[in-house]
Amino acid sequence: MLVGANQHAVVQARINQYRYIHENALALSTKLIIAKIKNQRATLSYFNKHHKSVNLLNAIEELKRIAQLIKNAKTLNDVLGYEGYAANIYFSSLARDKFLSESFANREGRGSQEIANSMLNFGYAILSSYILNAVTNAGLEPYLGFLHQKRPGKMSLVLDLMEEYRAWVVDRVVIKLREQYKNKKSIDPKLKSALISEIQATIAKKYIYNGKKLKLEHIIQRQVYRLSGEFAGEHNYKPYIFKW
């Protein structure tokens, strides 16, 4: 009986997901990317606190401006355009001040031979495993996203939900590990172990969530349940904003 009930709940959750995304993808995507940009600002502010930088301050202000502009987005392509512009501002500021590595010039995806990009890519893969676990627990379809819709064969919902956590959970950790990888050409087992440990520590750390201190892993799960609730018309999804 329990298995049957669970299967029914999963089917209903995915029906809600399909219906909602068909009608509300733009509004949800806009909300998500605004949160991503705010968390990029929080990450830059975190490092600017100890390493005063005009480049970081300028980027922080420009990201604030972009987060306002994105509210005018009329299509998903508009949202993706603002997201890309914000990412360029964010990573360019980190590159100018050599926060990631001497060789880091811009973001490069999977297959990059540049050490900081390789660290970021490996870190995002670790983060994606936590997001996938939360999505699976909530009974949602990981391949049906609202922002990254045109990604055949990719777990687009997982990619979507990673956005609000990337900067704080992965980028910040990779920057903190810079001294361990700055003279290396590629990721070795020791570096992988260090990155896994640091991300696990961040995921296990407690943050304020609705007035309570919860481990980030539990916050991620609650956020996905809340998203499922929005798909069902029961909750209003609010992306998580980190406080530096």
- Which tens digit of pLDDT belongs to each residue from 185-228? 899 999 999 999 999 999 999 999 999 999 999 999 999 999 99
Q: Which pLDDT score is estimated for 1?
A: 35
pLDDT higher than threshold 60 for residue 3: no
User: What residues have CB less than 8 Å from 191, skipping those under 6 apart?
Assistant: 119, 177, 180, 181, 184
CB atoms within 10 A of CB 7: 11
Q: Is residue 102 part of a domain?
A: yes
pLDDT at 5: 52
Q: Residue 55 and residue 60: Cα distance in Å, rounded?
A: 9
Q: How far apart are CA 232 and CA 236, in angstroms?
A: 10
Per-residue pLDDT, 197? 98
Q: Mean per-residue pLDDT for 100-113?
A: 88
153 lies in some domain? yes
**CB-side exposure of 33: number of CA atoms within 13 Å?**
30
pLDDT score of 13 more than 80:
yes
Q: Using CA atoms, how far apart are residues 52 and 148, in angstroms rounded to an integer? A: 35
Q: Establish if 174 belongs to a structural domain.
A: yes
Give me the pLDDT at residue 215, please. 98
User: Can you give the pLDDT at residue 20?
Assistant: 95
Mind listing the pLDDT tens digit for each residue in 137-180? 999 999 999 998 767 789 999 999 999 999 999 999 999 999 99
Residue 43 backbone phi and psi in degrees, to 5: -65, -45
Whether 241 is in a domain gets the answer no
pLDDT band at 26 (very low <50, low <70, confident <90, very high): very high
Structurally, the chain folds into a number of domains equal to 1
pLDDT of residue 50: 86
User: What is the average per-residue pLDDT within 129-135?
Assistant: 98
Determine, yes or no, domain membership for 118.
yes
Supply the pLDDT for residue 235. Answer: 86
State the CATH number of the domain containing residue 125: 1.20.120.920
CB 215 within 8 A of CB 206: yes
Residue 240 lies in a domain: no
Task: Give the integer Cα–Cα distance in Å for 38 and 32.
Answer: 10
What is the band of 68 on the pLDDT scale with cuts at 50, 70, 90?
A: very high
The pLDDT mean for the chain works out to: 93
Going by pLDDT thresholds of 50, 70 and 90, the confidence category of residue 2 is very low
Indicate whether 239 belongs to any domain: no
167: amino acid identity, one letter: A
Higher pLDDT, 106 or 205: 205
pLDDT of residue 8: 73
Structural domain boundaries enclosing 63:
2-231
Alpha-helical runs (H) found in the chain = 2-48, 54-69, 76-96, 115-137, 156-162, 172-176, 178-181, 189-204, 216-231
Number of C-beta neighbours around residue 83 at 10 A: 21
User: Is residue 199 assigned to a domain?
Assistant: yes
